[in-house]
A and B are shown apart, each in its own frame.
Chain A
Amino acid sequence: MIQLEQVSKTFRGSRQPAVDRITLRVKQGDICVLVGPSGCGKTTLLRMINRLVEPDDGMITVDGRSIAQMDPPTLRRTIGYVIQQVGLLPHRTIAQNIALVPELLKWPREKTARRVAALLEMMDLDPGEVGHKYPHQLSGGQAQRVGVARALAADPPIMLMDEPFAAVDPIVRVRLQDQLLRLQQTMQKTICFVTHDINEAIKLGDHLVVLKAGRMVQSGTPLDILTQPENDFVLRLLGDDRGVKILDQTRAETLMDPFADAAAQAAANGHRVQAIDPVKIALERMMLMNTDEITVCEGARPVGLLRWNAIKAHVHRISGGAS
């Protein structure tokens, strides 16, 4: 668990604080996403957690221990850091780059080699093809993936990821996001993830933190923020399709009319979605099938009926009928 208590940082020579009295808690196994416009202090906040930047004020603890008392190199070896500019070592091959932290931790050679190969595959890179190349021979997106692999190398319990997917194309990006979510189910790491991209934030985050000019504007689950944006700034950040995004975050079961009795259940029509599917998926099916209602199931068992009118009313209610 990472905890920040009233943390502030003002860089020498600038009048505005880069990070201004932030209090934040990232639970074990959660992905906390920091979003906000360029220059709002996301990177600075992240770098205070591994002490690459020292806060002027406030307190940061990891698993209950104040990091100010810890030896920075030791602290950093337990925290994977994917830096925004990638920062691969140009004089080392890709495999040697990924092997860096295991090397610092003095892992046996074979174990490191196996780990490197596994990580490259995990990142959709061919170990035989890419492993012996040098950083300048990779594309921006490939280099970024190597940066992620390098941070994961020693399997640190905490990951700080600074816009790790910014340079990859949309298709690969979606694949890497899905991969991160899939891995996270088994790895259960505590992750701080920085992004500009609100869609990425909503998709990956268990918890979002919206920053503006060093201040925390709002924090909460993606659905909290989508349904109750604190102010115009958050509303604008969420974009023009807030309703659709909400439907992507809302489970079909929450808007359905549950079947009252077995008779109704038996009458259920042929089109179905799962109860835990997002409403957006249900909507897509309904449009494809040209129907106004769809059966919601738990496994094979029909549990309710989701109606077009209910969806419409929900979006209308949330957006306050304004947009």
Chain B
Amino acid sequence: MNVIGFIRDNASLVLAYTGNHIALVLVVLALSLGLWISTGLLISRHERLAGAVIGLGNVIFCIPSISLFGLFMSVPGLGLGRRTATLVLVLYAMMPLVRSVHAGIRSVDGTVVDAGKGMGMTGLQLLLKIQVPMAWPAVFAGIRVTVVLITGIATMATFIGERNLGRLIHQGITRGDAEMIIAGALIVSVIALALDYAMGRMERIIISPGLQVQGGERPRVGA
């Protein structure tokens, strides 16, 4: 079996698929961060919404990704392709992002917020100077998980027509082409591991040393 050989022989195809894969991940990530972090902040201030929103995120997260793709592809206006893929992946990112923002803000020690209030901080200052910085390790861990998750699930979008690394695996299986399967699986795995590693390193740089001792627990990665 000659996986390297396969990649070399099909370099332009592999490159195009990898590019597509990463492009999809980036688009989804940009949309998800904007949408779900603001949702997370919103429900931290309106606790009554929190249960419902997080519950919804959990339900979506428990549906197999392939089912979500299958269900949304039949919605008129979505169909096969990039639009459905993006929507489903953004929905998948909801649970880890919203939950980590909410948990991060909620975990901020009440006495610290109290001290901030006592010093005369306004609501916005409390949020920006205390709650967000203190929630940041949890939020960043959530982002890290989301990046890895989206990279993985994006492979499944091949079943609704995305031409990305999932396609190598999918076609490899249908053709019984082991080199193709392994090439696809390897490249996706390397990308996921590299992103996880890079973000792990970043964590140490951008998180205040005053918060690092507590060691944020990472939410899990799903299917």
Query: Do B213 and A136 touch across chains, with their CB atoms under 8 A apart?
Result: yes
In the assembled complex, the Cα of A114 lies from the Cα of B122 at a distance in Å of: 26
Please judge, given known A-B contacts A90-B134, A91-B208, whether A73 and B111 are in contact too, CB under 8 Å: no
In the complex, whether A174 has a CB less than 8 A from a CB of chain B is no
In the assembled complex, the Cα of A72 lies from the Cα of B114 at a distance in Å of: 13
In the complex, whether A190 has a CB less than 8 A from a CB of chain B is no
Please judge, given known A-B contacts A83-B111, A85-B111, A104-B125, whether A90 and B118 are in contact too, CB under 8 Å: no
Query: Do B115 and A88 touch across chains, with their CB atoms under 8 A apart?
Result: yes
Please judge, given known A-B contacts A86-B111, A89-B130, whether A81 and B210 are in contact too, CB under 8 Å: no
Please judge, given known A-B contacts A81-B115, A87-B114, A91-B133, whether A136 and B125 are in contact too, CB under 8 Å: no
In the complex, whether A76 has a CB less than 8 A from a CB of chain B is yes
Interface residues on A, range: 20 to 34
Please judge, given known A-B contacts A87-B109, A91-B210, whether A81 and B134 are in contact too, CB under 8 Å: no
A-B contact number at CB 8 A: 82
Shortest distance between the CB of B114 and any CB in chain A (Å): 6
In the complex, whether B186 has a CB less than 8 A from a CB of chain A is no
How many of chain B's residues have a CB under 8 angstroms from any CB in A?
23
In the assembled complex, the Cα of A33 lies from the Cα of B22 at a distance in Å of: 65
In the assembled complex, the Cα of A150 lies from the Cα of B118 at a distance in Å of: 11
Query: Do A134 and B209 touch across chains, with their CB atoms under 8 A apart?
Result: yes
In the complex, whether A52 has a CB less than 8 A from a CB of chain B is yes
In the complex, whether B56 has a CB less than 8 A from a CB of chain A is no
In the assembled complex, the Cα of A261 lies from the Cα of B125 at a distance in Å of: 70
- What are the residues of chain B within 8 A of A50 when measuring CB–CB? 118
Query: Do B120 and A73 touch across chains, with their CB atoms under 8 A apart?
Result: yes
Query: Do B114 and A52 touch across chains, with their CB atoms under 8 A apart?
Result: yes
- What are the residues of chain B within 8 A of A81 when measuring CB–CB? 115, 118-119
Shortest distance between the CB of A122 and any CB in chain B (Å): 18
In the assembled complex, the Cα of A91 lies from the Cα of B109 at a distance in Å of: 12
Binary contact readout B78-120 vs A (1 if CB under 8 angstroms, 0 otherwise): 0000000000000000000000000000000101101111111
In the complex, whether A48 has a CB less than 8 A from a CB of chain B is no
In the complex, whether A93 has a CB less than 8 A from a CB of chain B is yes
In the complex, whether A209 has a CB less than 8 A from a CB of chain B is no
Query: Do A87 and B120 touch across chains, with their CB atoms under 8 A apart?
Result: no
Query: Do B210 and A87 touch across chains, with their CB atoms under 8 A apart?
Result: no
Shortest distance between the CB of A233 and any CB in chain B (Å): 30
Query: Do A74 and B208 touch across chains, with their CB atoms under 8 A apart?
Result: no
Query: Do B210 and A92 touch across chains, with their CB atoms under 8 A apart?
Result: yes
Query: Do B118 and A73 touch across chains, with their CB atoms under 8 A apart?
Result: no
Shortest distance between the CB of B211 and any CB in chain A (Å): 5
> Which residue in chain A gives the minimum CB-CB distance to B210?
A134
In the complex, whether A166 has a CB less than 8 A from a CB of chain B is no
In the complex, whether A75 has a CB less than 8 A from a CB of chain B is yes
In the assembled complex, the Cα of A113 lies from the Cα of B14 at a distance in Å of: 57
In the assembled complex, the Cα of A85 lies from the Cα of B112 at a distance in Å of: 9
Give residues of chain A (53-100) contacting chain B, Cβ–Cβ below 8 Å: 72-79, 81, 83, 85-93, 100
Please judge, given known A-B contacts A91-B208, A93-B210, whether A74 and B120 are in contact too, CB under 8 Å: yes
Please give 20 more A-B residue pairs, beta carbons under 8 A apart, in addition to A76-B118, A87-B109, A90-B211.
A77-B119, A78-B120, A85-B111, A87-B114, A88-B115, A89-B130, A89-B134, A91-B134, A91-B210, A91-B211, A92-B208, A100-B116, A100-B129, A101-B119, A104-B120, A104-B121, A134-B208, A135-B210, A136-B213, A151-B119
Q: Show 16 residue pairs from A and B whose CB-CB distance is below 8 angstroms, ordered by the A residue.
A: A52-B114, A52-B118, A76-B117, A76-B120, A77-B120, A86-B111, A86-B115, A87-B109, A87-B114, A89-B115, A89-B133, A91-B133, A91-B208, A91-B210, A92-B208, A151-B119
- A residues lining the B interface (CB < 8 Å): 50, 52, 72-79, 81, 83, 85-93, 100-101, 104, 134-136, 147, 150-151, 160
